[in-house]
């Protein structure tokens, strides 16, 4: 994920935001690419893989800093734990020799020392933090309409914005290359790839 780069759709949203056409972005992605592209107002609904959070005290630290603490606590470990293709299970997990498992030392939370740490993202079955939901709802309330781009809205946390926008009498548009959960509830449905759609929108707006 660290090698991922912002694409044309990310940069198009930056241009639309600067032109006053987009008031902000609520994203279900956890890759930080909207911020990397230059969008000013981004709310990562499901968190961001660039941070690690403590499940006990909720302290958050940059992933890069935590990775360095991992390396400092386990010198030489990464080099000795080389993974080959046959060690990878179908679900992406890796079978490591027991000796390597026992040798690994987990650094604790930088604030409270707890070992209950995880990437600061919302996994399936977890709830979006209340403060994040409220901030997204405030952004929707400030906006005149809702544009959904590149999402089937299969997850309720995203689909709910369409429901809330419709209840508030706001227009809703969806740009997506395939079918989605809210297709019968929107004012405009554009069945097209997101990058192609944004290129056309920018041309139409002269941006």
- 103: domain CATH number is 3.30.1600
Q: For residue 93, with 0-12 CB atoms within 10 Å meaning exposed, 13-18 middle and 19 or more buried, which class applies?
A: exposed
Q: Are residues 136 and 198 in the same domain?
A: yes
Domain stops at, among 121, 148, 176: 121
The annotation status of 57 as a binding-site residue, yes or no, is yes
Which region, left, alpha or beta, applies to residue 96 given φ > 0 means left and ψ of -120 to 50 means alpha?
A: beta
Q: Does 32 fall in a domain?
A: yes
pLDDT class of 55 with cuts at 50, 70, 90: very high
Please state, in angstroms and as integers, the Cα–Cα distance from residue 130 to each residue in 110, 137, 154, following that order. 24, 11, 20
Extended beta strands in the chain, E state? 25-27, 42-44, 47-54, 60-62, 117-121, 145-149, 171-175, 188-190
Domain stops at, among 121, 152, 176: 121
- List, for residues 125-152, the tens digit of each pLDDT value: 889 988 999 999 999 999 999 999 999 9
- List, for residues 159-169, the tens digit of each pLDDT value: 999 999 999 99
Locate tokens 């409270």: which residue? 112
The annotation status of 112 as a binding-site residue, yes or no, is yes
Residue 29 CB neighbours (<10 A)? 19
11 in catalytic set: no
* pLDDT surpasses 90 at 92: no
Q: Are residues 103 and 33 in the same domain?
A: no
Residue 1: what pLDDT? 59
pTM: 0.82
Q: What's the domain range around 61? A: 50-121
Q: Are residues 134 and 40 in the same domain?
A: yes
Q: Provide the CATH number for the domain around residue 176.
A: 3.40.50.1220
Q: Which of 10, 11, 34, 46 is catalytic?
A: 46
The annotation status of 109 as a binding-site residue, yes or no, is yes
């Amino acid at each position: 994920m660290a090698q991922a780069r912002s694409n044309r759709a990310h940069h198009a949203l930056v241009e639309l935001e600067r032109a006053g056409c987009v008031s902000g972005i609520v994203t279900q992605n956890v890759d930080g690419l909207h911020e990397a592209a230059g969008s000013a107002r981004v709310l990562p609904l499901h968190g961001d893989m660039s941070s690690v959070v403590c499940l006990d005290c909720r302290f958050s630290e940059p992933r890069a800093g935590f990775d360095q603490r991992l390396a400092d606590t386990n010198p030489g470990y990464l080099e000795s734990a080389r993974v080959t293709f046959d060690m990878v299970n179908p679900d992406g997990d890796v079978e490591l020799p027991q000796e390597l498992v026992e040798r690994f030392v987990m650094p604790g939370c930088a604030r409270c020392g707890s070992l209950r740490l995880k990437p600061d993202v919302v996994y399936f079955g977890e709830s979006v933090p209340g403060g994040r939901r409220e901030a997204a709802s405030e952004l929707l309330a400030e906006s005149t309409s809702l544009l959904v781009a590149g999402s089937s809205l299969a997850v309720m946390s995203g689909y709910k914005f369409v429901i809330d926008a419709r209840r508030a009498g706001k227009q809703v548009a969806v740009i997506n290359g395939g079918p989605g959960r809210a297709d019968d509830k929107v004012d405009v449905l554009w069945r097209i790839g997101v990058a192609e759609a944004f290129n056309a929108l920018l041309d139409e707006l002269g941006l």
